[in-house]
């Protein structure tokens, strides 16, 4: 198949999954065409079956804001004609599904199927805003196929937008060979002493991730167990979180690592992963941590309870319950046998449900179903 993929190329779960899906499909022999304003951050290595098509926006004095959506729709139509696309697979409802709708209607003599994958904040944050509600609903309904990364997101979409179209749940996946526990790749000696445990969090530092809860939780329990907190990523909450660490006097214990390409290497030699979000449609970073045999402490929101089984692969707490998070974290870090057992169970859950082969095959089957 000839498949066009559009995603946000910046740091985040939707862009990561779109890039990994494209690479996996290319390895299976499909022709993949990424269409975006820059190369997705996970698309560092090209396959012979992968092409990238840059969306350029025309500068014009009358435009207060560059019309990226129109440029994207035009580029989608152009690539669909030149590359004989069968499918435009867009990740994120607005604006990508809207642009795909416009592109398809520009192709008078060729029908391209549009598949929209919903990732979370495109529904719960952007789409639920009054100004975007109607166009989000329209773009979903006009797609030939719609997938969601969790049952929770599927239910939220149907509830918020009164969607009649069927939504197929296809979960996120992880490269189990890359994300695994490997003692030979531990390179945290510059930050962590041999007798210290490692707590880690990876995100784009948006308010919804509640990184302040992680820092305050760490302040509660760091005197009870020798450990360091590593925060990976960048975003709007970076400076406020650095200021919070300074106010709490934790500068020597909380390490900000910025954006990292080798997240798998950091996770592989860590001990515990935290994801206390107030919204989380799936939790790709938690999945990657589980694949590295890390217990995960998450919150009872969205798709996290579908991923993290309480008491089996980690623990689920209520949003903002710092005391409960600290108690679970302390118990795991002081009890090596418990932590390792839960970590092994987390890895087994990934192997049984969220491998690349298992999930990519679901997308392939869905493509064929939509193509008829």
Q: How confident is the model at residue 42 (pLDDT cuts 50, 70, 90)?
A: confident
How many Å apart are CA 73 and CA 75, to the nearest integer? 5
What is the reported pLDDT for 123?
82
Separation between Cα atoms, residue 222 and residue 219, nearest integer Å: 6
Pick from 199, 277, 204, 274: nearest CA to 238 = 204
Residue 273's DSSP bridge partners are: 200, 296
The pLDDT of 25-44, averaged and rounded, is: 93
**269 vs 367, which has greater pLDDT?**
367
Residue 11 pLDDT greater than 70, yes or no: yes
SS3 label, residue 344: helix
Rounded CA separation 289/266 (Å): 10
Alpha-carbon distance values, 8 to 115, 148, 267, 315 (Å)? 16, 17, 24, 31
Which CATH code is given to the segment(s) 2-173+355-371?
A: 3.40.50.2000
Mean pLDDT (whole number) for 217-232: 95
Distance CA 225, CA 213 (A): 18
Q: Which of 141, 136, 113 is nearest to 126 (CA)?
A: 136
Contact 83, 99 (CB under 8 A): no
- At 352 the pLDDT is 97
CA distances from 138 to 120, 155, 370 (A): 17, 17, 19
Show the CA angle centred on residue 42, arms to residues 23 and 122, nearest 5°. Answer: 100
> Phi/psi of residue 235, each to 5°?
160, -170
Question: What sign does the dihedral 298-301-305-306 (CA atoms) show?
Answer: negative
d(CA 272, CA 245): 20
- Contact indicator for 176, 356 with CB cutoff of 8 Å: yes
pLDDT value, residue 58: 85
Contact status, residue 110 vs residue 266, Cβ threshold 8 Å: no
3-class SS of residue 160: helix
Predicted confidence at residue 194, as pLDDT, reads: 86
CATH no., domain 183-353 = 3.40.50.2000
Q: How many CB atoms lie within 10 A of CB 365?
A: 12
**Which residue, chain included where needed, has tokens 């926006």?**
57
344-357: pLDDT as tens digits: 999 999 999 999 99
Q: Which two tokens stand for residue 236?
A: 């709007």
Domain boundaries, the chain: 2-173+355-371, 183-353
Res 45: pLDDT: 73
Does this chain's domain 2-173+355-371 share its CATH topology with 183-353?
yes
- DSSP symbol at 357: H
Give the tens place of pLDDT for each residue, 62-92: 888 889 999 999 999 999 999 999 999 999 9
CA dihedral 16, 101, 149, 124 (to 10 degrees): 100
Looking up tokens 């300074």 gives 246
Reported as a single tens digit per residue, the pLDDT across 97-146 is 999 999 999 997 678 999 999 998 778 777 667 888 999 999 999 999 99
Q: Summarize pLDDT for 204-223 with one digit per residue, the tens.
A: 999 999 999 999 999 999 99
- Residues making up the chain, counted from first to last: 372
Buried b (16+ CB within 10 A) or exposed e, 134-165: ebbbbbbebbbbbbbbbebbbebbbeebebee
Cα gap 26→363, rounded to integer Å: 13
pLDDT at res. 109? 67
Closest C-alpha among 166, 204, 150 to residue 354: 150
Q: Give the model confidence (pLDDT) of 262-321 as tens digits.
A: 899 999 999 999 999 999 999 999 999 999 999 999 999 999 999 999 999 999 999 999
Alpha helix locations (H) across the chain?
A: 13-27, 68-82, 98-106, 121, 130-142, 151-161, 211-221, 238-247, 263-268, 284-291, 304-307, 322-334, 336-353, 356-371
Instruction: List, for residues 157-184, the tens digit of each pLDDT value.
Output: 999 999 889 999 999 999 999 999 987 6
Using DSSP's 3-state secondary structure scheme, residue 221 falls into: helix
The dihedral sign for the CA sequence 69, 71, 74, 76: negative
């Amino acid at each position: 198949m000839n498949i066009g993929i559009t995603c946000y190329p910046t740091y985040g779960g939707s862009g990561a999954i779109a890039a990994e899906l494209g690479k996996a499909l290319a390895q299976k022999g499909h022709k993949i065409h990424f269409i975006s304003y820059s190369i997705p951050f996970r698309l560092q290595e090209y396959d012979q079956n992968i092409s990238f098509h840059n969306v350029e926006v025309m500068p014009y004095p009358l435009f207060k804001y560059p019309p990226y959506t129109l440029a994207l729709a035009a580029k989608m139509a152009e690539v669909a004609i030149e590359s004989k696309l069968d499918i435009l697979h867009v990740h994120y409802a607005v604006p990508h599904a809207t642009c795909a709708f416009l592109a398809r209607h520009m192709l008078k003599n060729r029908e391209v199927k549009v598949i929209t994958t919903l990732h979370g904040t495109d529904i719960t944050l952007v789409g639920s805003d009054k100004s975007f509600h109607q166009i989000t609903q329209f773009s979903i309904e006009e797609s030939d196929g719609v997938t969601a990364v969790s049952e929770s997101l599927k239910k939220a979409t149907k509830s918020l937008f009164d969607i009649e179209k069927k939504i197929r749940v296809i979960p996120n996946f992880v490269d189990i060979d890359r994300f695994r526990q490997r003692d030979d790749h531990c390179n945290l000696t510059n930050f962590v002493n041999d007798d210290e445990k490692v707590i880690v969090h990876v995100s784009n530092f948006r308010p919804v991730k509640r990184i302040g809860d992680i820092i305050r939780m760490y302040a509660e329990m760091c005197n009870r167990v020798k450990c360091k907190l590593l925060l990976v990523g960048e975003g709007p909450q970076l400076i406020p979180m650095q200021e919070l660490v300074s106010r709490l006097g934790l500068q020597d214990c909380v390490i900000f690592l910025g954006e990292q390409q080798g997240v798998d290497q950091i996770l592989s030699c860590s001990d515990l992963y935290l994801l206390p979000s107030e919204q989380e449609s799936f939790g790709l970073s938690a999945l990657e941590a589980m694949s590295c045999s890390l217990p995960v402490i998450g919150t009872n929101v969205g798709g996290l309870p579908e991923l993290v089984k309480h008491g089996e692969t980690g623990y689920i707490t209520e949003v903002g319950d710092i005391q409960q998070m600290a108690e679970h974290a302390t118990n795991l870090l002081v009890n090596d046998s418990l932590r390792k057992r839960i970590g092994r169970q987390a890895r087994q859950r990934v192997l049984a449900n969220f491998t690349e082969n298992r999930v990519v095959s679901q997308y392939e089957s869905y493509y064929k179903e939509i193509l008829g």
